[in-house]
Amino acid sequence: MTTALPAGRGTPRRSDLRLLVESLRLDARVFRRNLWFNRVAASFAVPKVLRRTLYRLGGMAVDSFVVSPACRFEGDPRNVRIGARSYLNLQCYIEAVAPVEIGVDCAVGMQTMIITSDHRGPGGTWRSQASGLPVVIGDRVWLGARVTVLPGVTIGDDVVVAAGAVVAADCLPRGVYAGVPARRVREVGPSRIGAGEATT
């Protein structure tokens, strides 16, 4: 005696096929984006002047000629805006699920991370579906090496953030911030950071 398989067993359903096709389309889109921004444009073989052109052709609003190699961009490239003369050191990571705006004459240290995807739920819970919170970095801001900027943060003009700090809340203008989480440790005058200077 044979037992009939329940309906849908052993053969893929239309909804499964649609899900598979949509997943493949998404993978192809992510692959093309990563190839363009994180392999071709980020290559050490590409001069900085040409790198800006490649970013702009891909939809990013980049006015700076001093974005270093090996920087990584995730999310929607149309969400990224980098102001004139702002310097990004090696291996910066920008996750542009929501808009990321970097002002003019900024210096961003190596391996700095700017994150916009937020998984916080009500009452301190965690949600699997991320929402995007924008990050705004003002003019003449200096982020030291390995600074982490969390979703929804605004950093005011003429701010210095010490290496390794985690910026979890807004930073008011003309101050030095340090620590985990970053706190204002002293006041400063207008920053003298020049475009193209190394940050550590």
Tally of CA atoms within 13 A in the half-sphere of 61 that contains its CB: 13
Q: Which of 25, 29, 32, 119 is catalytic?
A: 119
Tell me how far apart the alpha carbons of residues 154 and 140 are, in angstroms, rounded to a whole number: 14
Annotated catalytic residue 119: yes
Tell me how far apart the alpha carbons of residues 85 and 27 are, in angstroms, rounded to a whole number: 34
Q: Rounded to the nearest 5°, which phi and psi values hold at 84?
A: -60, 140
Tokens at 191, concatenated: 């920053």
φ/ψ region of 68 (left if φ > 0, alpha if ψ in -120 to 50, else beta) reads: beta
Tally of CA atoms within 13 A in the half-sphere of 130 that contains its CB: 13
Q: Rounded to the nearest 5°, which phi and psi values hold at 6?
A: -60, 150
Nearest to 151 by CA among 136, 172, 173, 129: 136
Looking up tokens 């008011």 gives 172
User: In the chain, how long is the greatest CA-to-CA distance?
Assistant: 88
Q: Which residues are catalytic?
A: 119
